[in-house]
């Protein structure tokens, strides 16, 4: 979560939560107490011309629509939190050394991502969390879950808050909000969330679905897919002419068929990456088209599945008559929860609204000093000067202060050495970039993409392309391997030469050539 402004402790306060997703904006006004959130009002702004790839198409026009919605609902709250729920947000899980200081961790993560992804990280805000901590050869490592929020979306949020005159407290991403469920020790449908279990959260909306797996209370795997618009149209037409509360109908609808295809693909890919893990339960939220879809998914996936209907720490105003509030505005509500280690949301006006108090204080101090200097006499000035001289002598001959000064000089030398080291590292990176070298992380990504029942026979890797020869037991494994390769960001094109059947082994031999993206060109 990216915090805006200073931290203030709030016993009870109204907040406005806005979720920006690929189909519109959801708004919730809620009363935030120390241990619960009470929903006062909620509404939704939808339209194909509002959001595009996570970005607000026209901030001023959307601000007018939100103002009208706020006025219609009688909302006067100005403290706000924003959450971005979009496929434009990049997520990664990387094993790196465990460090103590946040600044050092962010610097390390940035350096690693620059080697892994062909994007300009200066165009992203980085958020991270830690899933596991392990010891490897007496060195402590951590698995970092990293979210990269595009700066354009971040600026859209701040600009929207400025136009609406909101006091922006934080900007978060939806998958990071899900981590609060475990950290806040929340229950779902009277089911206690255990850190030693693995849970999946499936969001279903009209035009997109998202799938997220939590292990040890932290997001380990996440994906977002946009659905075909034709599927949505067919689904809505089917709802009008058929009793959709039957399991038989659900299995025949194009929308749910598409959902099952995507969900099966997510789960298979997750198990291919983490073969030792087992998903214990799936929770569903969003704009759910059918109330018995949980029963249908459970029977087809073999995994216990429920729609999120109740969370004890989230309460509803008795005057609300909107159905299914918790499941529909689930992310908005989670964004208002706080971790046990940090019970209070920080809030303040954004820098565009905050007066420059330092400037005012400096101006007042300068004016006061000028008045004092103009009022005193030459004799008093000499006396003050003598007093200052005596004070400076005491400071100069103070051994403790002299030791502090020596320490400062030592720090300056150390900074100089570190700057020289950074310069050498930069030169080394330039040499490596000009050579025909291959990043070890790229090779590791290739090996992680190989399914369990596929054996890698040979692999030839250079800076521009990779030739892989494999043997799989089934055609399905071949297809899964190709799908896994398409998920890798550094691959531009995949060429599949064909499959040879080995009758004596009953397996399939095939070769794949992958053309890699020009990392140097993308970095520029």
**pLDDT of residue 390 exceeding 60:** yes
**pLDDT of residue 433 exceeding 90:** no
| pLDDT band of 13, cuts 50, 70, 90 | confident
**Residue 79, both tokens:** 């403290």
| pLDDT band of 408, cuts 50, 70, 90 | confident
Multiple choice CATH, 440-523, 3.90.980.10, 3.30.70.2830, 3.40.50.11260, 3.30.429.10? 3.30.70.2830
**pLDDT of residue 414 exceeding 90:** no
SS3 content of the chain, % helix, strand, coil (to 5): 40, 30, 30
Residue 479 has what pLDDT? 87
90-112 pLDDT, tens digit each: 988 899 999 988 899 999 999 99
Tell me the CATH number for domain 1-90+149-186+311-354.
3.30.420.40
In a 13 Å sphere around the CA of 418, the CA atoms on its Cβ side amount to 6
In a 13 Å sphere around the CA of 67, the CA atoms on its Cβ side amount to 13
Distant-in-sequence, close-in-space partners of 428: CB < 8 Å, separation ≥ 6: none
**pLDDT of residue 6 exceeding 60:** no
Range 367-394 average pLDDT: 64
Between 33-37, 75-79, 166-170, the lowest mean confidence (pLDDT) is in 33-37
In 50-179, which ranges are continuous DSSP H helix?
59-73, 102-116, 151-164, 174-178
Distant-in-sequence, close-in-space partners of 182: CB < 8 Å, separation ≥ 6: 193, 195, 214, 216, 217, 218
The answer to whether the CB of 490 falls within 8 A of the CB of 519 is yes
What are the extents of the domains in the chain? 1-90+149-186+311-354, 189-310, 358-434, 440-523
Residue 78 has what pLDDT? 93
The residue ranking higher by pLDDT, 388 or 144, is 144
Q: What is the dihedral of CA 93, 99, 100, 102, to 10 degrees?
A: -50
Cα–Cα distance, 158 to 164 (Å, whole number): 10
The answer to whether domain 1-90+149-186+311-354 and domain 189-310 are alike in fold is: yes
The answer to whether the CB of 64 falls within 8 A of the CB of 50 is no
Of 436, 430, 454, nearest in space to 516 by CA: 436
Highest-confidence segment of 155-169, 325-339, 380-394 = 155-169
For residue 275, the tally of other CB atoms under 10 A from its CB is: 10
Range 324-333 average pLDDT: 92
Range 387-411 average pLDDT: 70
Mean pLDDT over each residue of the chain, to the nearest integer: 79
Residue 396 has what pLDDT? 63
463-488 pLDDT, tens digit each: 778 888 888 888 888 888 888 888 88
Tell me the CATH number for domain 189-310.
3.30.420.40
Residue 350 has what pLDDT? 38
**pLDDT of residue 237 exceeding 60:** no
Cα distances from 164 to residues 261, 328, 350, in angstroms, run 41, 24, 12
């Amino acid at each position: 979560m990216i915090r805006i402004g200073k931290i203030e402790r709030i016993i009870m306060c109204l907040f406005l939560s806005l979720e920006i997703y690929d189909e519109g904006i959801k708004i919730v006004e809620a009363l935030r107490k120390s241990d619960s959130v009470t929903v006062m009002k909620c509404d939704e702004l939808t339209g194909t011309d509002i959001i595009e790839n996570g970005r607000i198409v026209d901030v001023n026009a959307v601000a007018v629509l939100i103002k009208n919605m706020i006025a219609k609902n009688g909302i006067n709250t100005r403290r706000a939190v924003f959450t971005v729920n979009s496929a434009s947000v990049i997520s990664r899980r990387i094993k790196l050394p465990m460090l103590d200081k946040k600044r050092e961790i962010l610097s390390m993560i940035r350096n690693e991502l620059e080697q892994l992804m062909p994007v300009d990280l200066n165009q992203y805000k980085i958020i991270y969390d830690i899933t596991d901590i392990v010891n490897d050869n007496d060195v402590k490592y951590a698995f970092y879950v990293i979210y990269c929020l595009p700066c354009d979306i971040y600026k859209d949020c701040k600009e929207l808050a400025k136009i609406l005159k909101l006091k922006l407290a934080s900007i978060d991403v939806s998958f990071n909000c899900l981590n609060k469920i475990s950290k806040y020790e929340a229950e779902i449908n009277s089911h206690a969330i255990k850190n030693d279990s693995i849970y999946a959260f499936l969001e279903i909306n009209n035009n997109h679905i998202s799938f997220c797996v939590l292990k040890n209370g932290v997001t380990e795997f996440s994906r977002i897919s946009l659905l075909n618009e034709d599927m949505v149209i067919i689904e809505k037409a089917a709802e009008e002419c058929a009793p959709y509360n039957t399991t038989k109908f659900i299995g025949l609808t194009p929308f749910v068929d598409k959902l099952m295809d995507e969900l099966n693909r997510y789960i298979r890919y997750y198990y291919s990456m983490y073969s030792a893990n087992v998903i214990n339960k799936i929770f569903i939220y969003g704009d759910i088209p059918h109330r018995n879809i949980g029963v249908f998914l459970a029977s087809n996936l073999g995994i216990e599945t429920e729609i999120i209907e109740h969370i004890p720490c989230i309460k509803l105003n008795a005057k609300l008559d909107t159905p299914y509030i918790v499941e529909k505005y689930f992310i908005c509500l989670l964004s208002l929860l706080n971790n046990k280690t940090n019970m209070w949301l920080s809030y303040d006006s954004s820098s565009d609204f905050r007066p420059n108090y330092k400037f005012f204080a400096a101006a007042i101090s300068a004016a006061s000093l000028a008045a004092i200097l103009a009022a005193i006499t030459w004799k008093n000035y000499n006396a003050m000067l003598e007093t200052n001289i005596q004070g400076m002598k005491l400071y100069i001959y103070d051994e403790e202060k002299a030791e502090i000064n020596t320490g400062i000089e030592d720090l300056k030398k150390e900074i100089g050495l570190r700057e020289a080291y950074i310069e050498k590292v930069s030169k080394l990176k330039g040499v490596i970039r000009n050579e025909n070298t291959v990043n070890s992380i790229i090779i590791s990504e290739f090996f992680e993409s190989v399914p369990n029942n596929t054996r890698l026979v040979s692999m030839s890797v250079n800076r521009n392309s990779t030739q892989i020869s494999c043997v799989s037991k089934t055609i399905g494994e071949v297809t899964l391997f190709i799908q896994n390769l398409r998920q890798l960001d550094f691959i531009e094109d995949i060429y599949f030469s064909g499959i040879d059947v080995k009758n004596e082994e009953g397996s399939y031999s095939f070769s794949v050539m992958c053309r890699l993206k020009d990392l140097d060109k993308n970095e520029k």
